[in-house]
Amino acid sequence: MEDQQSFFNFLRMPPEMFDELLNRVGPRIQKRDTIFRKALEPGLKLAITIRHLASSDRYSSLQYDFRIARNTICTFIPEVCHEIVQELKDEVISCPTEPEEWRAISEEFQRRWNIPHACGALDGKHIAIRCPPKTGSLFRNYKGFFSIVLLALVDADYKFLWIDVGGYGSMSDAQIYNASELKECLEDGTIGFPEQGPMPNDDQDMPYFLLGDDAFGLRTYLMKPYSLRGMTKEQAITNYRISRGRRVVENAFGILAQRWQILLSTMMQGPDIVREITETCICLHNLMRERFAMLQNGQVDAEDDQHNIIPVQWRATANMHEVDNVVGPNRDTIAAKNRESI
C-alpha cells in the first residue's frame, strides 16, 4: 500500500514497524520452494497474521481478502505468532530485577500519578475461547462464558512488565497470582525491590510495592484500597490515589484490545494457541510503546481541572472482561500501617 494511513488502518501499525518485524521474523517463517509448490512469501504470511490480530477477521474472510486457501491460513498463523513471541518476548516484556530499575518506575508513578513507591499495577482480564473438549466447567468463568485469564503487571507508561497467560477461566486473579513466579519472587525478596526509604516530604521509611485491587491480599509489597465500608475522609483520599495509579493497567488493557481486536472476540483455537496469540499481541503492544508511543497516547484517559476522568473510546468499545474479584486473604498488619502513611 502506497498510502501510509491506509496501511496503518489495515494493519494497525506504521509501515516502519511492519518492515522491522519482517526483517526480524521473516527468516524464521521462510519456507523452501519445492517441486510441488512455491512457498508463500514471509511478508504475505506476516501481513495476514497481523490483519487477523488487528481485525479478528475469520480465516474464511481472510481467504477472500488475500486469495490464500483457508486451510493454509489456519496452519501458518499459529506458526507466525509463535515466531514473533520467540523473537520479541525476552526483549520487550522484561520485568526489572535491579533496585535502580524499580526505582525508576516508582519515580515515574510519583511524577505522573502522585503515588510514591509504586512499582507497577496488577490486574487480570478474561480472553474468550470456545470450550475445549472434555474440560467440563474448568474454563467457564463467573460471567457464563469460557475463557483463559491474562494476569499482567504494568508500569506507569502502559507497558507490560510481566504476564501470566493461560489460567483457567474459573480461577480468580488471586488464585493465579498465588501460584505465580511473581508472588514467589515478592515473598522471598528476589524480585530486587529497593530498600525501603522515606516518603516525599516525610522522614518515615516506606517499602516499595505493587498496586492491586480487592482480589489481592494486603501485603507490604502489595497495596490495595480500603474497604468502602466505614471509610474516613483520609482513607477516601488514599483510595483515590491508589485507583489513580491503578488506572495505568486499565488503560494498558484498553489500548491493547482496541488495537488487537482479536482479544475482544471468542477465539476458536485451543487454549495453547490462544495463549500464544495473546502473548503476540502484548509483544506488539510493547514494541509499539517503545517505537511509536505517540500513536497510543491519545487512547489513554485524561483528567479535567477537577481531576475527573475524561473517558476515551476504548472504555465504550474495547473493554475486556474483568476477572472475578473475590476479596483477597487477610491483610498484613504492617502493610495496613504502611497504607495509613500514604
Containing 163, the helix (H) or strand (E) segment is strand 160-168
Contact call for residues 276 and 85 (beta carbons, < 8 A): yes
- Residue 314's pLDDT is 55
Q: Are residues 294 and 337 in the same domain?
A: yes
Last residue of a domain, one of 31, 66, 91: 91
113 DSSP β-pair partners: none
Measured from the Cβ of residue 116, the count of other Cβ atoms closer than 10 Å reads 22
Cα 201–Cα 243–Cα 142 angle in degrees, nearest 5:
155
pLDDT at 331 over 70: no
Q: Are residues 57 and 101 in the same domain?
A: no
Q: What is the mean pLDDT of residues 242-263?
A: 93
Give me 97's grid cell: 530485577
Tens of pLDDT, residues 296-329: 665 666 665 656 666 666 555 656 777 765 555 5
Q: DSSP string spanning 55-109?
A: H---HHHHHHHHT--HHHHHHHHHHHHHHHHHHHHHHHS----SHHHHHHHHHHH
Confidence of residue 10 (pLDDT cuts 50, 70, 90): very high
Q: Are residues 117 and 179 in the same domain?
A: yes
- Residue 4's pLDDT is 87
Last residue of a domain, one of 91, 116, 142: 91
- Residue 50's pLDDT is 97
Confidence of residue 230 (pLDDT cuts 50, 70, 90): confident
Q: Are residues 164 and 253 in the same domain?
A: yes
- Residue 308's pLDDT is 63
pLDDT at 155 over 70: yes
Q: What is the mean pLDDT of residues 262-280?
A: 96
Last residue of a domain, one of 91, 122, 144: 91
Tens of pLDDT, residues 49-58: 999 999 999 9
State how many domains the chain has: 2
- Residue 326's pLDDT is 54
CA 199 to chain centre: 29
Q: Are residues 31 and 137 in the same domain?
A: no
What range does the domain containing 181 cover?
93-341
Q: Are residues 61 and 159 in the same domain?
A: no
Q: Are residues 81 and 133 in the same domain?
A: no
Q: Are residues 138 and 8 in the same domain?
A: no
Which residue is associated with the grid cell 457464563?
144
Q: Are residues 193 and 233 in the same domain?
A: yes
- Residue 16's pLDDT is 94
Q: Are residues 299 and 323 in the same domain?
A: yes
Average pLDDT, the chain: 88
SS3 128: strand
Q: Are residues 70 and 179 in the same domain?
A: no
Give me 18's grid cell: 511492519
Burial of 21 (0-12, 13-18, 19+ CB in 10 A): buried
pLDDT at 13 over 60: yes
Tens of pLDDT, residues 170-212: 998 889 999 999 999 999 888 999 988 888 777 788 899 999 9
- Residue 18's pLDDT is 96
Highest mean pLDDT among 20-29, 227-236, 326-335: 20-29
Total-model pTM = 0.89
- Please, what's the b/e burial string for 247-277 (b: 16 or more CB within 10 A of its CB; e: otherwise)? bbbbbbbbbbbbbbbbbbeebebebebbbbb
Q: What is the mean pLDDT of residues 60-79?
A: 94
Q: Are residues 285 and 195 in the same domain?
A: yes
